[in-house]
Chains A and B, each alone.
Chain A
Amino acid sequence: MARIDLDLAHAYKPHPTQDSDYALLPLKMSFRDGGAYALLGPSGCGKTTMLNIISGLVTPSQGTVTFDGRDVTRLSPQERNIAQVFQFPVIYDTMTVAENLAFPLRNRRVPADRIKQRVGAIAEMLEMNGQLNQRAAGLSADAKQKISLGRGLVREDVSAVLFDEPLTVIDPHLKWQLRRKLKQIHHELKLTLIYVTHDQVEALTVADEVVVMMRGRAVQEGTADQLFERPQHTFVGHFIGSPGMNFLDATVVDGQLHIGACQVPLPSDKAETLRQAGAFVLGVRPEYVAPAREGEPGAVPARVEQVQDIGTYWMLTARIGEALLRARLSPETAAPSPGQTMWLSLVGPHTCYYKNEELLA
């Protein structure tokens, strides 16, 4: 296992002049030895490019990739000693499950008794001991992908295991079990895992740390909790959570926080920063917008546009001035009626403030 450092950029053109010429904008990033990471973002954000640069399938147009301080920028995946698992099963249909799992070890001339031991251990972790002597050809897509996962995990001496959307073909009802397996195996083997996905549940569940990417840029690296509570960039606020964070234009005038036509006291711990910024964007998650009493500090009146029964909660859509706001209300509160005015608390400990899309306070 290795610590991986990136200090690089990757451009589509020989002489990039603008941001859109880059698949990956200049970045510095470190992956801890033994850490589980996810690269998360919409299609075209650069996550697969980054994975391919780490594995050695793509050489960055500038900069370096180092494994434990050793420059591997120009080395092949094999020379970097990387294991990879792809979106679709890559296995040998004519071989048995055991032979498939043993294949990466046999290629590296691992002694036979050691192979047997490793294959047994991985098969047990994946709950495939019963199928070891079965031919791979007749297996379901799920089982085949489990073999692919097993082959990625069978060697203990790899620098890192890279996954590119490995659970896409898995039946939704079985996904959580494989996520659990991956987490267990990571805990037991302490492998360096890097996992590419556009599925937030998968990223936040499997990885300890998630890198959120957007248009060739890593906008935040953090734990699920950090990404939810303190998005460093408005895109993270929007992308994590369903629905994402609400954003409202706000200004400071005469020491008061103005949101649309309403004003509320400045939060004392952030007052100075906000006063200096003058104009900014207030971000508050639908989970943290709560009904309030009229005139309550931090609350503003809003016009109820729509109330949806989402089964486990009410989804409120309300308007503050021109801006739309969504809120998740407890099913134990009485649902408001469209057209009605209700007070909603917006300023609290979970509220974030942004300037030029970046977190201010």
Chain B
Amino acid sequence: MQLMLEGIEKRVGGQAHLYPLDLSLVPGAATVLLGATQAGKTSLMRLMAGLDAPTRGRVTVDGTDVTGVGVRQRNVAMVYQQFINYPSMTVRDNIASPLKLRGEKDIEARVQALAAKLHIEPFLQRLPAELSGGQQQRVALARALAKQAPLMLLDEPLVNLDYKLREELRVELTQLFATGDSTVVYATTEPTEALLLGGYTAVMDAGELLQYGPTAEVFHRPQSIRVARAFSDPPMNLLPGEAATLGVQLPGDVRVAVPLPSNGSRSVTLGVRASALRVQRREGDVALPGTVELAEISGSDTFVHVDTPAGEVVTQLAGVHYFDLGTSITLYLRPSQVYVFNEAGVLLVAPERLTRRDA
């Protein structure tokens, strides 16, 4: 299914909820809408679903203009943050409801298959209220899948679950999306979730669509500081500097040798991902001395907040590491690993990727 938004704009009471945007979703693939709260993700999804009509612009499905056509006349499945099921129906009847509405055959077999896929077979006789949050959301997902709609919209479906459940369901969802039966749109505030879901990502900020493309490509080549800021967790370290003869000069007499285009501005911003800062020195590294403000430990990683003369930065170290508050530390950086943005926040330089995935 080919969903296209052309010159879409949404204003509510004189206030812009969505600035004019064009978006043509890759059919049969999953697109992640990534952005902080209030970025416009839900507003955009409501236009895609037909729950709202745009103030300006056109929505087309497979070339047919559906602008202003309500959700009931469209074939869309939706899953929300809240676990929405029919409270008085059993899990079986919840999943069967879209099938019954369409008068389908083999309903029981289809329900069984979906329940198996989402690991809720043991609960088919129960009411939603008798299930845990994770199980309730699985029921809502099964019902959405039962609809077999060509367009499936998921608005932060995992946000109310605890992180281990999120991890598990995310893997399952990626597999369900990979079948290519539906065009999927998935809203999230979490950059890591976008990377784990793969597919395509549309980065949104303050009602604007900033960039759309294959997820890894958007991550590795953010066109602007705003995209880099939205698509990085922990946030990309952004250090104000000046273009110098052989690279970028940062406060504290830190010089990063990186070739800059000749048409760039004088004041620039150096962008460094947390994972590009290391505590082991390598040949050709730039040193960044500082003091530890906090070491946050996730288990798999330790995020060390460091105050340096060039600014406050965060580094990501794999595994568990301890640092006392106020300890001196020196971080190292390979100059080829930095991003540079010009005065207007436009990308000038992105890191050379060391390896590319074999096609």
Contacts and interface: CB of A to CB of B under 8 A. Distances in A.
Nearest to B191: A311
Contacts of B164: 42, 238-239, 244
Contact of A331 (B167, B195, B355): B355
Interface in A320-339: 328, 331-337
Interface string B330-359: 000000000000000000000000111110
Interface string B140-181: 000000000000000000000011110100000000000000
Interface string A57-73: 00000000000000000
Contacts of A43: 133, 162
B300 A242 contact: yes
Given A309-B216, A328-B300, 18 more contacts: A179-B296, A180-B305, A201-B296, A204-B297, A204-B298, A224-B322, A241-B298, A242-B163, A242-B300, A287-B300, A308-B195, A309-B219, A311-B191, A312-B274, A315-B196, A331-B354, A334-B358, A337-B358
A227 B220 CA distance: 33
A256 interface: no
Interface residues of B, number: 40
Interface stretch (B55-63, B109-117, B312-320): B312-320
B45 to A, nearest CB: 22
A92 interface: no
Given A224-B320, A312-B316, A333-B355, A204 B299 contact: yes
Interface of A: 42-43, 173, 176, 179-180, 183-184, 187, 198-201, 204-205, 224-225, 227-229, 238-244, 285-287, 307-313, 315, 328, 331-337
B299 A200 contact: yes
A228 B299 contact: yes
Contact of A42 (B162, B195, B298): B162
B92 interface: no
Nearest to B189: A172
Interface of B: 133, 162-165, 167, 191-192, 195-196, 198, 215-216, 219-220, 235, 273-275, 293-300, 303, 305, 316, 318-320, 322, 325, 354-358
A310 B299 contact: no
Contact of B299 (A42, A173, A176, A242): A242
B297 A205 contact: yes
B46 to A, nearest CB: 25
B305 A334 contact: no
Contacts of A240: 299
Contact of B296 (A176, A184, A334, A337): A176
A179 B294 contact: yes
Given A179-B294, A200-B163, A243-B167, A224 B325 contact: no
22 contacts: A42-B165, A179-B294, A180-B305, A198-B162, A205-B296, A205-B297, A229-B320, A240-B299, A241-B299, A242-B163, A244-B164, A286-B300, A308-B195, A309-B195, A309-B198, A310-B196, A311-B195, A311-B219, A312-B275, A328-B318, A333-B355, A334-B358
Q: Report, nearest first, the 5 A-B pairs whose CB atoms are least far apart.
A: A312-B275, A204-B297, A180-B294, A309-B216, A241-B299
Nearest to A238: B164
Contacts of B162: 42-43, 198
Nearest to B216: A309
Contacts of B273: 311-312
Contacts of B296: 176, 179, 201, 205
Contacts of B192: 310
Q: Name the residue among B163, B165, B297 with the largest chain A CB count within 10 angstroms.
A: B297
A241 B300 contact: yes
A307 B293 CA distance: 35
Given A180-B325, A309-B216, A331-B355, A242 B196 contact: no
